[in-house]
Structure 1
């Protein structure tokens, strides 16, 4: 190999070793390393390594939101999701009379299917006593129910004679409204003006920009906290000691919302039977048939062993990853895809779950997440009376025509507004929340016996 004198140092940045004396460090020409690489040299992103890694756990939000962000102005955001199209109810049957656990919305001449667990019946509704009670006549052998628990498939069919008038009552679907709340995250960095001289100037297509290593670390810490909050924060209860003491309650993180209205599991997924159970639940819960599973190291190991046996006896029988490749290539990329029972699962590692200073710390290594499974694509929801398509997860930031609080950076001292002290400081603030739609299509798995 020929001698190659590099113009960059080992960080890969185009360093200005002798900056123009007229250059002044200001908020306008400040840049952090990640933003620089993302805009000007994306190939450097994987190389930004520190002793134990950069410490950044970013990636989940960017990947699952499909790059979509929104804004909000009020003190909460909400959307509504329509319930299922068909109505299947549990009822107590005595003879021809059926008492349902919730409103049936049936009409005379509706045809229903009834099952008691061993037999099925078909019947036509002959009378409506109340929103919970109806009478139906069998289309076959007479009913022999005596205070029996049955399942009624309400939206099956109806029968009318020639010349019959139409129904005089329609069906109604009551949307469920889900809310989330704003959450303010802040960070602060202070440095003496003498130490602030330790800054580095970088040449960019947009002119010279500067960064400071400690400010860079502080910025990364802030971004990590914002992502941790969006994913893992639990909104404080109304009667919690912290709330009663006057502290703000904050937002509901993604995991809390999945645990409240999604799917949860204990222990690791180790077999195709486990994946098949996930596929069946996905079919029962919604229309999504493709999921990304953000996993810890142990769950990835089980997936690797599991994937090695899927279609293993067939030549070219497997397609690993989002493109055609070999098993070895997919595994070396630490990315595995499995299509099973009509559902595609993409598995990828999530550094957060294996970080010994975060969710793999002592104690948390037994109770934290094994995986978080997120649906891929969009879902229709109703907002302000309009039906719109939303990604299953959207990050929103407080904004109006005066200010945008997505990521406010305020400089004080020689960097910005002058202060008397011989020091400068930086404040970072974000007022945000998340919007989880279709939480019934998400899955959260814990490492051990966490959920009763």
Structure 2
């Protein structure tokens, strides 16, 4: 049964006609719904619609999937770097580093003054650098932090940066699930009508249809939060055309910052702020 929502002849009395029908979604932005006086909502607000929007995690698209590219760090930093005796020019344990000859590095360690050095040679897991602060480095034998922040070359020299650092990207593919629901109205349910008193007169809607739409929208948001992808070899993956999708919470568990204990002390907050700072999140949230 199709009803055209043409409000050309709104009545001043409660008379359900095609000309004064309105869905709940047409009036919530302008008028407060006046439901039946005996209709009591004892469960409070049960909907989660809007949660993803408030978290800025919504992204509309009209395709079977879309790809997200995550950019790698613009600058590289390394932790747990070793230095033989704490005075050597060679730093080890820097697997797959991108530091080049001629760059400046800053070395920090707990209880030590931050020092700066000029890189003179590199290998796959080691970096050799001359200290600017003194004749020898004064760092820890382990657990040093190394950060490349610039370069220095002699004036008029023909030597330049011989290697290029290419930007790396991580690719994530997101496939949504197909959502379906059903709503049927029988003759005995036609009396289940909600009335709205507008300045132009009374309009009405089917309460069951409005709730079915709300439930469908609600579950769409819940899938975006709670769903997971079907693992290889799982029972669900054996069903034809069933793959699952990665919800927001699962994405946080897989590649986000998580804590195994409550964040209820200053030390916990400091550790969390350091992680955010390392990823540039403090600047993002303060801008």
Contact 1:109 1:158 in 2 (8 A): yes
In 1, the alpha carbon distance for the partners of 2:272 and 2:130 equals 39
Whether contact under 8 Å (1:92, 1:149) holds in the other structure is yes
Q: What CA distance in whole angstroms lies between the structure 2 residues aligned with 1:115 and 1:279? A: 18
Q: 2:161 aligns with which of 135, 156, 167?
A: 167
- Per-residue CA deviations over 1:337-381 (Å, capped at 9, x if unaligned) read xxxxxx7xxxxxxxxxxxxxxxxxxxxxxxxxxxxxxxxx8xxxx
Q: Would you say how many aligned residue pairs link Structure 1 and Structure 2? A: 268
After TM superposition, the structure 1 = structure 2 runs for residues 70-219 of structure 1, keeping only pairs within 5 Å, are 70-73=60-63, 75-90=64-79, 91-94=81-84, 95-115=88-108, 117-119=110-112, 120-130=114-124, 132-139=125-132, 140-142=134-136, 148-165=141-158, 166-196=160-190, 198-200=192-194, 210-219=204-213
Displacement after TM superposition at 1:161 (Å) = 1.4
Is the 8 Å Cα contact of residues 71 and 168 (structure 2) preserved in structure 1?
yes
Tell me the residue number matched to 1:61.
Answer: 52
1:179 deviates by 2.6
The two structures have a TM-score, normalised by structure 1, of 0.49
> Do 1:127 and 1:136's aligned partners in 2 also have CA atoms closer than 8 Å?
yes
Aligned partner of residue 135 in structure 1, secondary structure = strand
| 2:236 corresponding residue in structure 1 | 242
Q: Is the 8 A contact 1:55 1:220 kept in 2?
A: no
Residues 61 and 227, structure 1, Cα contact 8 Å, conserved in 2: yes
1:40 aligns with 2:30: yes
Per-residue deviation at 1:65? 3.1
CA change 1:230–1:44 in 2 (3 A) is farther
Distance in 2 between the 1:257 and 1:126 partners? 41
What is the DSSP-based 3-state SS (H/G/I as helix, E as strand, rest coil) of the residue aligned with 1:70? Answer: coil
Aligned match for 1:50, one of 41, 44, 55: 41
Residue in 1 aligned with 2:7?
none
SS at match of 1:264: coil
In structure 2, relative to structure 1, the CA distance for the partners of 1:199 and 1:251 (3 Å cut) is: same
Partner SS state of residue 238, structure 1: coil
Return the alpha-carbon distance in structure 2 between the equivalents of residues 64 and 144 of structure 1.
Answer: 46
**Counterpart-to-counterpart distance in 2, 1:115 and 1:272:** 23
In structure 1, the partner of 2:23 is 31
Q: Any conservation in 2 of the 1:15–1:201 contact (CA below 8 Å)?
A: no
CA contact (8 A) 1:16 1:203 kept: no
CA distance in structure 1 between the aligned counterparts of 2:161 and 2:183, rounded to whole angstroms? 69
Structure 2 unmatched ranges of 5 or more: 1-10
- The Cα shift of 1:17 comes to 1.0
Q: Distance in 1 between matches of 2:16 and 2:235?
A: 54
